[in-house]
Structures are given as structure tokens and as C-alpha cells.
Structure 1
Amino acid sequence: MRKILFLIPLILGGCSWLAPDYKRPVVALPATWNGVQAVTRDDHTWWRRYGDPVLDHLEEDAAQHNDDLALAKSSLSQAQAQYSYAFANQLPSLSVVGNDAYGKFANGNLHAAGQSFRFPNKTSNFGFVGGMLNYELDLWGKNASLSDAAKAGVQGAVYAQDAARLSVAAAVAKLYFSLRALDRNVAILKESVQTQDDILRLVQHQYDVGAVDALLLQDATERRDAVHAALPDMEDQRNNAESALAVLVGRSPQDIVQAGISRGRDLQELNVPEPAPSVLPSELLERRPDIAMHEQMLIASNFNIGYARAAYFPSISLASLAGVNNIDIDNLYRATSRSWTLGAAMAAPVLDFGRTQSGVKLAKANRNQQVVLYQQSVRTAFREVRDALLAQNTAAERDADNGARDGAAQQKLHLMTLRLEHGYASQIDVLAAQSTVQVAELSQVQARLQRLDASVDLYRATGGGFTALPLKKKI
């Protein structure tokens, strides 16, 4: 009989049947990516496709030292601790108890801990030491629901950490590309400053001898001044991008102030991958870590409803006490008797003025909110994939067009230089052609940057090598 009583809590515990059955919200999904072929690839280190060792090193630094990733790791540890606490709350608790009373007792019998003791009429003590076992029968799945909700919270924290890792990796890549683009822009503007200075000098000479009027001189002066003004702004943008990248990869304050970011390949030398969606539309729900995170939060809110509903029903607790007693103070550490007790307590709600009902309503409202957040994450994911696909196509076309424009400007400069060598063009004509080349190069840099950014956006939008799987880590 005792064995049966002991097994009842284990049989009845862990049943979160008051929680609603979870069903993933139905979302209408497209069958294809508008004709774009999805490929099977699990590219966890997608940034290596750009072929820049410096970028690879920066990504490794960010993965180890980025503050956002450290916070995500801390949040995961908190969720794991919360789950451990909720899981342990389903199990019995064993504690050591003891008491000692010292004084003079009247002649007679003393009844304590289920035993009757005879003691003399003298100063004595009554001592007890033993163990106490407490357990709450989880008949309604209150503790089980709380444990299941905490477990879903751990899974959500795992996916949140993966989402943060993907976001940081994309931010590092885009900021590094921006830095390399700004490096190239600064170099081009420095060349432009020299070119416009030379043009102004020649126009000034022509004006001095009366070959040109004041309007042409003023136009050359304004172009020179515009280039001179643009250079410091571009240098400031480069310095700000370098500092931001140092913070993003987790550099120390000393390194941020004193050290700079290493440079790798030039922007035009970087590989420009054209990633295709690595999953079908129906698989994106399992691919994006942020979507997986929101689904786990929805699952947790579902179990919280079961926890809130359990407050409608009685709570039953079992307590068992067993130990040894001693009456004589001179023999305090020698037991004179042994005792044990087994008891049960029940508390049932009668009138709580709507407290439990409000708790259930609050849990349901939170579940409804999580449904909206989940659906919103799905919509955002598909919008980002669509925008990234379109941006990748237009950026590739823009890059090709600007490349052709740059090539034509370079060819014009070459022809103008040949004309100068044969006396058919002036030095100012060659400088004007150089200025055209520099403008085309600035446009080409911007187009290449947009193309690189579009590829990063598509990697991030499709999950960037992440695969949402059932949690197998030890919690």
C-alpha cells in the first residue's frame, strides 16, 4: 500500500492536459519564388564566398566578442535556469528538520511526533531530528505546464541566439563592404581634387591671357570647391564606419581608439556571389531562426494557459516526517524513540473575486499576441526574401551598366591622351576626361556596394545556413 501511495504522484504528475492543444497558425504560402529556382545548400559560413580573409577574421571576432551575442547567450542561460527550476518544482523536496526544547516539564506524558513520552519532574529537553518530504500532487498539470512553457522558452532562446548570430554576421559583412567602398571613394576624391586643381590652374591661365571669360573660370572654381568640400565628409564617413565596425566585432576601447581595422581585397576584386533561395517557400518557416523563436514563444504561451487554468482546481500536498526523539538532556545524541508521520493538505478556491479568471484571460491574451507576432515574423521574412531577390537582380543590372559606363569613360580618356600626344587635344581636354572617369568610378563603387549588400540581404533573409531542428542540447 505504501508503494502505491508513493507511485501516485509520479503517475499523476507531468500531465499538462489543461493547456490547449497546440496547432501552428495557418499561413497561406506561395508555391515558388516567382520562378527563381531554390537550391539545396547548408552554407553556415556564407561570408567566405566573398573571398576576403580579413572579412573571415572579422566574422570570427564578432562571433566571440560581440556584445549582442553575449547578451543572447546570457538570455539563454537564464532560460535554462528557469526551466531547471520549473522542472525541479515537479519533484518532491526533501529537507532536514530538527528542534530542541529545554525546560522543566510537569509529571505526566508528553505526546509529540505521534509518540507518547514519560519524563521525570526535572529540568530536561525534548529533541527531535529527522527528515521531511513534501510533494504537491500535480493533478491538473499546473507544474507540468509551467515546466513545458519554460522548456519552450529555452528553445526560443536558442533560436534567438541563432537569429542574433545571423544578424551580426550580416551587419559585419555589410559594414566591412561599406568601409572598403568608402576607402575607394576617398582615393577617387583625392584624385579628383588634384584633377580639379589642375583644371582650375589651366583655366585661370587662359582667363589671364583673355582666352576664356569669367563665367568659365567661375564654373571651374565651383567644381574644384565642391570636390574639396566632399573629401573631408567622405573621410569622416570612413572613420565612423571603421569605429562602428570595431565596436561590432567587440574590440576593446583601447583598440577602438588606437588601432584601425585591417583591409583585405579591394571592393572591385571581391567575389560577388549571386545566392539563390536555399529553401522552398514552405520550408522558410523552418529555416529562419526568428520565425522558429516566435513559434516557441507561442508554444510557451499555450502552456501558460494550462498553468492559469489549474488555479480553478484544488491543490493537494503530501508531507511525510520521520526521525528520532530524545527526552533526556543528558542523552541528547542518543535516540530514545523513533517516529514518523504522513499527512495531506488540500486547498480549494472558493471566492477570489475573479483573480483566477483574470489570470486565464491574461494568459489567453498573451497567446493571441504571440500568434500575431508569429504571423508578423512570417510576413516580414517573405517580404525580406522578395525584396532581396528583386534588389539582387536590379543591383546586378546596375553594376553591369555602371561597369560599361566606366569602361567607356576609360576608353575616352585613352583616346584623348592619344590626341594630346599628336597635338589634336589640349591638356585641359585630357583633365576633363579624367574627371569624367572619376565620376564614373564613384558610381561604379556605389553600384558594386549595392550588389554586395543585396547578396548579404538574401543570405540573411533565407536563414544564412541556419536549420531549425528540435532541441537536442542538454538543458
Structure 2
Amino acid sequence: MRTSSAYGMVLVTLLGGCTMIPNYHKPDAPVASAWPQDKKKETAGQDARALLQDWRSFYRDPVMQTLIATALENNRDLRIAQQQTLAASSQFDIENAALFPTLNGTAGASVQKMNSHIWSLSRTDEPIYMRQYAVGFGVSAYEVDLWGRIRSASRASFDRYMASALNQQAMRLSIISSVATAMLNWVANTQALTITQNVLQNRRQTYNLVKQTADVGTGTQLDLAEAEAALHDAETSLQIYTRQRAQAFDQLTLLVGTPVPEATIQSMNAKTSLNAVAAFPDVPAGLPSDMIARRPDIAASERELRAANDDIGAARAEFFPKIQITAANGTASNNITRLFQSGMGAWNVAPQITLPLFDAGRLTAQLHQAHARKREEIARYERTIQSAFREVADALAGRETYLGQMEAQQKAVAAHERQYTLALQRFRAGYDPYLATLIAQRALYTAQLSAITTQLQTLSNNVTLYKALGGGWDNGIPPRKASPAEHIL
């Protein structure tokens, strides 16, 4: 018992030895402490975090919630990310397994025919058969991790697993935002299609009216040609928005990952304008800039940086001696009937120490490569933070301007409606040619489409801001089964 305990203590000591991983220092964020367009006092941090916690608290439209929930269950890109995370988790377990010896059971037999002249002075031609049978178990080429090479590789594998899990969360967040944007695009195209249908109907009526006046001689052929051209322009626009609406639905179906149920389609068809979509809550002003640190893509980039730091420890350990142990224990005999009899025991132990003496600079190059990759990951991590900062800053700038733009656009639509009404009245009264009416109608139609575009941009900007702040990341890292060696790390 004392011998077994001593062996166990030695094994734990060897496994728990030091590593050569450099101390990790998180790089400072290379961005300002406040958003350029959000200079208000930072008092909204807790309110914003509560709002961003669950995507359902932001995407309040029931139809949009249904589509997003379906996408999170069926989207193939998300499934790919999930399997990549599982593969990374398994790779971590594989690296961890190297910390323990692999015990194999063996059974073998060998028969060899020998020339009798080698073993006997007689000149007989009878052959000699050499037989050997063995059964046992053993350890093959187990590396004692004195310098932490295996543990460094295992830690790097764990950090890459965490990065993969965080990338899965980033994919999840992207899908939520993409589904919301795709639905908004579909509703916007539906609204534009409805307006185009009304314009087409008005232009048909106008064309018939102009044709009647031309037939009786009170109108001109120029007015008729202009009315006909305007009619065909509206027919062209109708086909364009019909196609764009169908393509928006196809994009939504792809994101959802399954055919959209008929009940959901009926609910979507009831939303004939963007005003029918449930409004997004306002993200509070005065957001602290450090909120973006919770974004999964930034956290994943930092995990990749940690993994690169771990790789340096593994590269350093390569310069030191490797101790490998091969051992076996069992029974052996030249007669299979006596294999398990008393006295047939056999064992062997073969430790081996390997010390690198000359490798033409390979190990040094590997260490330099590991340091270069760490510097690369530092730059990539800083760039990810800078990109995230810009995304939030752009979205905040949009929040400050889109509402004013939409208000001005709505006033412009109202003014163009009055202009068109007056121009139509003057045309019917015979005061102005049809061209003035056509110009006013085209200006109104353009203003209406611009208003839809502005409203779509306003809503999409809210989605972008929510995504840029890392909203909807409420699931955490997917749970995994801990490996036997995980406590050693």
C-alpha cells in the first residue's frame, strides 16, 4: 500500500509540474473611453444590459419572434458552428488524454522455423520450431510531462474550444439580426409593391383620360405619349418590387432553415407596412464603451490570443529533455498450455530520455513562430475591438440622424401629395398640360419610396445597434463534459 501511494504521489507531482507558458496580460483596448456620438453621462449601463440580455425583450413583434425562434432551431450555419464547437471540445479531450498513460492489453504468438544445423552438430534435415506465447498489458511511449509541453498544448486546445463556442454565439447573434433584417426587407418591399400598384392603377386611369381627350381633339399626342410612358414605367416598377419581395422571402426562408408555416405567412401578409411591425425599444443613451467587451466575437478573439500564448509554452518545452516510458507486464511461455501456470510471469520497463542536441535551428524557429503568431493575435484582437467600436459609433450616429431624416421625409411626402393634387386639378380643369401632373406624380412616388427606404434604414439601424452591442447573447457557453485531466490544467 505504501509503495502504491508513493507511486501515486510521484505521478501527481510529475503531472502537476510547472509549465513554460508566459504570463498572460490582456491588451488594453485601443479605442476611446466614450462613443463619439454618445457624450451623455454614463448612467444607462444597467438598463442597457437588462435590455440586451434576452433578444425577446428587444424583438417584440410576435411574427418576428416566431421566425427568429425557428431559425435558432433550424438554421444550417448555426448547426455547422455547433458541430465545430463539438469537434473543438473533442480535440481538447484528445490533448488532455496525453497527460495519462495509455494502458493496452496484448496477446500474441510467434512460431519460427530454424535450420537444425545452426543449433545442432548433427547433420539431420529435421527443422527446429521456436514458439513463443505471451499475454499481458503495458504502457507504450508514455511521455512524462515535466516541462509542461503537453499541458501547454492542452490549454491551447481548451482556449480554442472556448473560441469556437464563442464564435457559435456570434453566429447565433448574427442569425437573430439577419432574420429581423430580412423580415423588415420583406415588409418594406410589400409596402413599396402596394404603393406601386396604386400608382399603376392611377396611371391607367390617367392614360385612359388622356387618350379620350386626344381622341376628341382636346388633348395632344405628346400628352398621350407621356401618359403611356408613365404607365409602362409603373408596370416595370411593379415587376421589380414583385421580384424583390419574392427574393426577400426566399432569403428569409433560407435563414429560418425550414419552409415558413402557412400560419406565419398569413401573419406576415397582414403586415402591409413597416408601421405594422412592433416598435423596437430605445437603447438608453450614455452607454459605457466597455459594453462591447461582452461581444462574443471579441471574447473569441481574446481566447485565440490566449491559445497563441499557450503555444509559446509548448514551444519552449521542446528545448528540454523528453522522458518516455514503455512498460509491460504479463505471462510468457513457449508452450501455450503452460502460459498461465505459476512461474510464467514476465515484465519489462524501458525508460528513454531524449535531449535535442542539433536540429539546424528548427526548435528556435518554432519558438519564433509562436511569438509571431501571438503578436498577430494581439493585432487581430485589437482590430476586432476597433471594428466593434466603429459599428456601435456608426449605429449611434444613425440613431441621432435617421429619426430627423424620417420626419423630414414624411413632411416631404405630404408636400408632394398636395402638389400632385393641385396639379391634377389644374390638368382636369384644362389650365396645365399633362406634363406638370406627371412630374408631380413621379415626385410623389419617389418621395413615398424614399420614405419607405428611410424608415427601413431607421429600423435596420436599431437592429445593427443591438447586434453591435452584443445583444441577445443570453445562453452562455454550451456545457461540456469535463475530461479526467481537466483539473490538472
- TM-score scaled to structure 2, two decimals? 0.82
Q: 1:123 to 1:397 in 2, by over 3 A?
A: same
How far 1:376 sits from its partner (Å)? 0.9
SS in structure 1 opposite 2:323? strand
Residue 25 (str. 1) matches residue 27 (str. 2): yes
2:181 is aligned, of 161, 168, 174, to 174
Partner of 1:52 in structure 2? 61
Any idea what the Cα deviations from partners look like across 1:130-181, whole Å, max 9, x if unmatched? 2213531111110000100010011101100000000111111101100110
**Residue identity in the other structure for 1:450:** Q
Q: Does 1:136 align with 2:143?
A: yes
**Local SS of the residue matching 1:100:** strand
Distance in 2, Cα, partners of 1:320 & 1:177: 67
Contact kept in structure 2, 1:55 and 1:173, CA below 8 Å:
yes
Which residue is equivalent to 1:114? Answer: none
Using the TM superposition, name which of 222-231 and 84-93 deviates more. Answer: 222-231
Does the 8 Å CA contact 1:50/1:270 hold for their aligned counterparts? no
Q: Which amino acid aligns with 1:19?
A: I
Aligned residues: percent identity? 27
Asked if residue 284 in structure 1 is aligned to residue 292 in structure 2, the reply is yes
Q: CA deviation at 1:99?
A: 3.1
Equivalent residues in 2 for 1:4-83, closer than 5 Å: 4-15=6-17, 17-33=19-35, 34-36=38-40, 37=42, 38-40=44-46, 41-42=49-50, 43-46=52-55, 49-83=58-92
Q: Distance in 2 between matches of 1:51 and 1:472?
A: 28
* Partner residue of 1:87 out of 96, 106, 115: 96
Q: 1:80 to 1:220 in 2, by over 3 A?
A: same
1:447 and 2:449 are equivalent in the alignment: no
Give the structure 2 partner of residue 115 of structure 1.
Answer: none
Query: Residue 146 of structure 1 contacts residue 307 of structure 1 at CA under 8 Å; is this kept in 2?
Result: yes
Q: AA paired with 1:87?
A: N
Alignment of 1:127 with 2:133, yes or no, is yes
For residue 353 of structure 1, report the CA deviation from its aligned partner. 1.3
Alignment of 1:155 with 2:157, yes or no, is no
Alpha-carbon distance in 1 for matches of 2:478, 2:423: 67
Task: State the match for 2:248 in structure 1.
Answer: 241
What's the Cα RMSD here? 3.5
Query: Of 141, 157, 164, which aligns to 2:171?
Result: 164
Alpha carbons 1:97, 1:131 under 8 Å: kept: yes
Partner SS, residue 340 of structure 1: strand
Provide the C-alpha distance between the structure 1 equivalents of 2:249 and 2:25, rounded to a whole number of angstroms.
47
- 2-side partners of 1:190 and 1:411: how far apart? 20
Offset, 1:470: 8.1
In 1, the alpha carbon distance for the partners of 2:211 and 2:400 equals: 46
Describe the shift of the 1:262–1:359 C-alpha distance in structure 2 as closer, same or farther (beyond 3 A). farther
Once the two structures are TM-superposed, the CA of residue 93 in structure 1 deviates from its matched residue by: 1.3
Tell me the distance in 1 between the aligned counterparts of 2:74 and 2:388. Answer: 27
Which residues in structure 2 correspond to 1:389-428 (within 5 Å)?
389-408=396-415
Return 5+ residue gaps in structure 2 as ranges.
116-127, 483-489
TM superposition shift of 1:462 = 0.2
| Structure-1 separation of matches of 2:32 and 2:212 | 67
Q: Deviations over 1:439-458 (max 9, x none)?
A: 44323221211111000000
Code of the residue aligned with 2:92 in structure 1: it is: Y
Note if contact 1:137-1:316 (Cα within 8 Å) is conserved in structure 2.
yes
Describe the superposition over 1:9-49 as per-residue Cα deviations: whole angstroms up to 9, x where unpaired: 32132546222211111224433333245442343443564
Match of 2:204 among 194, 197, 218: 197
CA–CA separation in structure 2 for the residues paired with 1:12 and 1:72: 37
Aligned to 2:107: 98
Figure out how many residues of one structure are paired with residues of the other and give that number: 453
Structure 1 pair 243/292, CA: closer, same or farther in 2 (3 Å)?
Answer: same
Contact 2:31 2:386 in 1 (8 A): no
TM-score by length of 1: 0.84
Instruction: Give secondary structure in 2 for the equivalent of 1:96.
Output: strand
Q: Are the equivalent residues in 1 in contact too, given 2:39–2:286 (CA < 8 A)?
A: no
Aligned counterpart, 1:355: 362
Query: 8 Å contact 2:89–2:480 — kept in the other structure?
Result: no
Q: Closer, same or farther in 2 for the Cα pair 1:470/1:196, shift >3 Å? A: closer
Tell me the SS of whatever aligns to 1:316. Answer: strand
- Could you tell me whether the CA contact under 8 Å between 2:110 and 2:131 is conserved in 1? yes
Deviation track 1:354-401 (CA, whole Å, cap 9, x = no partner) reads 221221122222212111111110010000000111112222112222
Deviation string 1:267-317 (CA, Å, 9 cap, x unpaired) is: 1122332323695212322x1100001110111111111112221111001
Q: Is the 8 A contact 2:134 2:339 kept in 1?
A: no
User: Cα offset for 1:431?
Assistant: 9.6
Name the SS of the counterpart of 1:128 in structure 2: strand
Task: Look up the SS of the partner of 1:346 in the other structure.
Answer: strand
Tell which deviates more after alignment, 48-57 or 228-237: 48-57
CA contact (8 A) 1:199 1:431 kept: no
2:333 to 287, 304, 326: 326
